C-alpha cells in the first residue's frame, strides 16, 4: 500500500522554513482566540460592534383563504381532487394548485417544513406551527347570506378560536407529558411568525353581489377586523406578524370570463381597472390600520407586505419572466367552461376530472383563480428580500421586536 505521509512531509519541509511555520502557528492561535472572544459576546455587544444576528423562526401560524390553505378544506369537506398537486407532490395535497403555495415557499425559506393543516386528522404535525387557512373563507364572520352564496364558515374569527384551542391543548398536553414530538414547544409560540393572507373572497363577493361603490363602503369594516385579530393573538403571546395585502383581483381570469368588462374599464394589462381600484383602496386602508396598530403594540413587529405589486408586475411583465398568456389558465374541463379545475363530472357513469395543460410552469393562473406553483415561487422570491415590505425586512430579519 502506498505511504502518503513521507512525500507530504518532505514537500512541507522543503517548502516551508522554520520562521514561516512559526508565523502560521501564531496566526492560528490569534484566530482561535478571536473566535472564542466573538462567540462569548452577548447580543448587545455584537450589535455594538456592528455585527448582526439572524433570527431563527421556530414556527409559523397562518390565517387565510385558499391562497394559503394547505389542506383544511380538503380535510373538512372533501379531498381536493386530481389534477391538483401534479407538478410538485405528484398527487392531490389539499392545495388548490398544481404544487406549492406562497406560504410553502415562505416556510422553505425559513428552513421549516410545510405547515400541517389544522383540520388534518391523519398526518398533522404542529411542531413547527399550523395552517388555519381555509379555501372560500372571509375576513368577515359568515352569516346565513354569505354561507348561502358559497362562502366557507371557517372565517377569520373561527380560525382565531382554533388557534386559541391549539395553544390551550398544547399547554395541557405538555403538562401531562404527552405527544410532545408533534407539538410546538411552549416558548416557541412567542417566537413564531404569524402570517395573514385573507380578503380576496370578501372583495370578490362584494364586487359580484353589490355595486362597486357599496364594495368600497364595506372596506372599513373589513380592515377593522385585522387589529382585532392581531390584538387577540398578541394577548396569546404572538409578537411577529407578516401581513399580506390583497392581490389584483381584476386580473383573475375567472372574473374576466364570468363578468366581461366594458372596453373602457380595461387597463393596459387587460385587467378590470375598477376591480383593481377597489383592491388598492382595501390595501391603502389596511396599510394605514397596520401603521396605527404599531403605535399600540410597540413590543411587536408588524410587517405589511405588498403582494399586490408583486402579482401585478408578474402579470404585466409575464413574458420577461417566462410566462405565457398572463390572463389565461392551465387547468380546465375541455368543452365545459361551467366546471372548475376542482370539479369532476360523470360521463356514462365514469368520473371525469379536469385536464391540466402540458406546461403548468408557463402559466400564472392554475385554475382561473389560484396561481401555479411556478407563479407562487416567483412571488415568494419577489417578497423575500423585504423590498415590498413595510418595514423593509427580509425573511432572515424577522425578529421579535422585544428581542432586538
Reported as a single tens digit per residue, the pLDDT across 174-233 is 998 877 778 999 999 999 999 999 999 999 999 999 999 999 999 999 999 999 999 999
Specify whether 367 is catalytic.
Answer: yes
Question: According to the model, what pLDDT value does residue 335 have?
Answer: 76
Question: According to the model, what pLDDT value does residue 23 have?
Answer: 59
pLDDT in tens, 250-305: 999 999 999 999 999 999 999 999 999 999 999 999 999 999 999 999 999 999 99
pLDDT in tens, 152-190: 999 999 999 999 999 999 999 999 887 777 899 999 999
Of residues 202, 267, 367, 373, which has the active-site annotation? Answer: 367
Residues 6+ positions from 124 with CB-CB distance below 8 Å: 116, 117, 118, 130, 182
Specify whether 66 is catalytic.
Answer: yes
Please give the residue that has the higher pLDDT: either 22 or 76: 76
Of residues 128, 218, 370, 373, which has the active-site annotation? Answer: 370
CA–CA distance, 54 with 297 (Å, rounded to integer)? 23
What is the pTM for the complete model shown? 0.85
DSSP of 40-80, one letter per residue?
HS-HHHHHHTT---------EEEEESTTS-SSHHHHHT-PP
CA–CA distance, 9 with 247 (Å, rounded to integer)? 66
CA nearest neighbour of 357 among 345, 344, 373: 373
Q: What percent of the chain has pLDDT over 90?
A: 75
pLDDT at residue 386 tops 60:
yes
Of residues 65, 66, 184, 267, which has the active-site annotation? Answer: 66
Question: According to the model, what pLDDT value does residue 370 have?
Answer: 98
Cβ pair 341, 334 in contact under 8 A: no
pLDDT at residue 131 tops 80:
yes
Specify whether 141 is catalytic.
Answer: no
Amino acid at each position: 500500500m502506498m505511504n502518503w505521509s513521507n512525500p507530504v512531509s518532505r514537500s512541507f519541509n522543503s517548502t516551508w522554513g522554520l520562521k514561516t511555520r512559526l508565523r502560521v502557528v501564531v496566526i492560528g492561535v490569534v484566530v482561535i482566540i478571536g473566535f472564542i472572544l466573538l462567540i462569548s459576546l452577548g447580543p448587545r455587544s455584537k450589535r455594538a460592534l456592528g455585527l448582526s444576528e439572524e433570527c431563527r423562526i421556530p414556527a409559523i401560524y397562518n390565517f387565510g383563504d385558499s391562497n394559503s390553505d394547505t389542506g383544511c378544506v380538503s380535510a373538512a369537506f372533501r379531498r381536493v381532487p386530481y389534477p391538483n398537486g401534479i407538478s410538485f407532490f405528484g398527487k392531490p395535497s389539499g392545495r388548490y394548485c398544481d404544487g406549492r403555495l406562497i406560504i410553502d415557499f415562505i416556510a422553505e425559506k425559513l428552513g421549516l417544513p410545510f405547515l400541517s393543516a389544522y383540520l388534518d386528522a391523519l398526518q398533522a404535525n404542529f411542531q413547527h406551527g399550523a395552517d388555519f387557512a381555509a379555501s372560500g373563507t372571509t375576513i368577515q364572520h359568515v352569516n346565513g347570506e354569505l354561507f348561502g352564496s358559497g362562502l366557507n364558515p371557517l372565517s377569520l374569527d373561527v380560525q382565531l378560536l382554533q388557534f386559541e384551542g391549539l395553544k390551550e391543548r398544547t399547554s395541557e398536553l405538555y403538562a401531562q407529558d404527552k405527544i410532545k414530538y408533534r407539538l410546538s414547544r411552549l416558548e416557541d409560540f412567542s417566537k413564531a411568525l404569524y402570517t395573514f393572507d385573507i380578503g380576496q373572497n370578501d372583495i370578490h363577493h362584494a364586487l359580484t353581489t353589490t355595486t362597486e361603490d357599496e364594495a368600497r363602503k364595506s372596506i372599513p369594516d373589513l380592515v377593522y377586523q385585522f387589529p382585532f385579530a392581531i390584538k387577540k393573538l398578541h394577548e396569546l403571546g404572538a409578537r411577529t406578524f407578516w401581513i399580506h395585502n390583497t392581490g389584483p383581483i381584476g386580473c383573475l381570469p375567472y372574473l374576466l370570463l364570468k363578468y366581461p368588462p366594458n372596453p373602457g374599464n380595461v387597463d393596459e394589462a387587460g385587467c378590470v381597472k375598477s376591480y383593481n381600484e377597489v383592491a388598492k383602496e382595501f390595501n391603502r386602508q389596511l396599510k394605514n390600520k397596520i401603521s396605527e396598530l404599531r403605535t399600540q403594540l410597540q413590543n411587536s413587529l408588524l410587517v405589511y407586505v405588498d403582494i399586490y405589486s408583486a402579482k401585478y408586475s408578474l402579470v404585466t411583465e409575464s413574458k420577461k419572466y417566462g410566462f405565457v398568456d398572463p390572463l389565461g389558465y392551465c387547468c380546465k374541463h375541455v368543452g365545459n367552461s361551467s366546471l372548475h379545475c376542482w370539479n369532476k363530472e360523470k360521463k356514462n357513469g365514469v368520473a371525469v376530472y379536469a385536464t391540466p395543460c402540458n406546461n403548468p410552469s408557463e402559466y400564472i393562473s392554475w385554475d382561473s383563480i389560484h396561481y401555479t406553483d411556478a407563479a407562487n415561487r416567483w412571488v415568494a422570491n419577489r417578497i423575500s428580500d423585504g423590498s415590498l415590505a413595510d418595514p423593509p425586512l427580509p425573511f432572515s430579519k424577522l425578529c421579535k421586536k422585544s428581542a432586538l
